[in-house]
Amino acid sequence: MMTPQQYEESLEKLNYCVYMLGKKISHVASNPILRPSRNAVAKTYEMAQRPEHEELMTAVSHLSGRRINRFTHVFQNSRDLVLKSKMGRLLGGHTGCCFQRCVGMDALNVMSIITYDIDRAKGSSYNPRFLKFVSQVQENDWVVDGAMTDPKGDRSLPPHQQADPDLFLHVVQERKDGIVVRGAKAHQTGPLNSHQILVMPTLTMREADKAYAVSFATPADTPGITYILGRQSCDTRKLEENAMDNGNLYYGGHEALMIFDDVFVPWERVFMKGEYEFSGPLVEKFTAYHRQSYACKVGVGDVLIGATQTIAEYNGVEKASHVKDKIVEMNHLNESLFCGTLACAYEGRAEASGTFIVDSLMANVFKHNITQYPYILARLAQDIAGGLMVTLPSEADFRSPETGPLMTKYYQGVKGVDTEHRMRMLRLIEAMTLGAQAVGYLTESMHGAGSPQAQRIMIARLVNMKAKQILAKRLCGIEPLD
């Protein structure tokens, strides 16, 4: 397994084509807006080196028998799924943000299932080809970006009826040595910290959409791939000299539009091409995995609860009954979320390929709660923090010899608490509930792995309503008590 330094060095060899704020970026690692996101991924390598976290952060490969980073593991039992949830909470607490490796981990697992199922039904050889790729990922300890979401264009139309066919990624040419693809993947989390891109179809395809039913892997710096970085609230604060205004001083995330302009993919990296009938199961199983992955938001919630308790003490209100009750509610909601991610893991089962998958119903229930509870936590944190969270002058003003002493005097809280410490905690709460870190906590909680309606559709589909009706009918005598 790579150390954080080796991870950094491995990315220096890649030549991404990146645009941000209207300009082409030549060096990702030194860019102050992007640097925190790379720090967050490096943390996954650092934690894997710690003996006390070996059980959570590492696993034994079923392919090689060697110890590997858990983010590259193919789950072999329910315990693997439980440890995945616990790992997510651990890292969420240590980074306070998205650490960008979960989508790739989930993509590796779902494709180990789907390639096996296609081979069994079609007599193809995708699964051995895919497992060879997995072995390379594990051996090199690569970060994999799972690329599923297409721009989609007019969402009332299927891919083949779009005015512009490139609004869904598709095969435009088939050659002896591979395929050529064109299109884009949107909302990509952390692609500039990735070694490999694993592409999957974004929705259930029909026969007319065969060209869009494609899955493959390609290096993140493959010629023809262009990244356009998304904006985040308060992102240009990272360009300023005063770090305190960022709240989280060390970690963050980034998202990008990933454009494929006639990108060539060799056959050995193609894992689905035209098997449209397997696109639906692929999406459903992937979303179950990825909805479980939102255990990370519980870890981020731990940070927000800790910040809220601390600012209550700095403000001198920690003993007020309503404040204590609100913090109890924050803990209640956060631990309830953790119950959900563990439940879907404990109820996991083996697929035909041998890979274990979470209980889909419970995973969807958990993720649906994720779309709600973090927003309640954020509201309670803002309530307790007070209005100074959003009216606080800049760190530059605090450092100024003219205005700094005035801020120290008028922004002091409880006696004995440094005014700067109070300001730092307020900035952290601001960042997590309104600023750059709110992307990784709130917006991702809402739309990541599917927005709320997507989970409600799956819950309606998966619940056994007939069985519930039979239970009721038996007890009131409509059906025999048998």
Task: List residues with catalytic annotation.
Answer: 98, 102, 189, 255, 290, 294, 296, 444
Smallest CA-to-CA distance from 118 within 107, 128, 110, 127 is with 127
- Please name the residues in contact with 358: beta carbons below 8 A apart, sequence gap of 6 or more: 81, 288, 289, 292, 344, 345, 347, 348
* H or E stretch at 262: strand 255-266
Enumerate the β-bridge partners of residue 67: 60
Enumerate the β-bridge partners of residue 60: 67
Q: What are phi and psi of 214, to 5 degrees?
A: -140, 140
The whole-angstrom separation of Cα 322 and Cα 177 is 67
Q: What are phi and psi of 339, to 5 degrees?
A: -55, -40
CA–CA distances in Å: residue 465 to residues 165, 347, 367: 40, 19, 21
Structure tokens at 461: 């589909």
CB 352 within 8 A of CB 112: no
Smallest CA-to-CA distance from 214 within 194, 198, 190 is with 198
CA–CA distances in Å: residue 105 to residues 143, 221, 342: 9, 20, 17
Smallest CA-to-CA distance from 151 within 137, 170, 133 is with 170
Smallest CA-to-CA distance from 88 within 108, 67, 102, 68 is with 102
Write out the DSSP string of 287-298: HHHHHHGGGHHH
Please name the amino acid found at residue 300.
V
Residue 55: HSE in the Cβ half-sphere, 13 Å Cα cutoff = 6
- Please name the residues in contact with 300: beta carbons below 8 A apart, sequence gap of 6 or more: 92, 93, 96, 97, 374, 432, 437, 440, 441
E-strand ranges in 151-247 read 170-175, 178-189, 196-199, 214-219, 225-229
Smallest CA-to-CA distance from 227 within 263, 273, 271, 200 is with 263
The whole-angstrom separation of Cα 183 and Cα 270 is 16
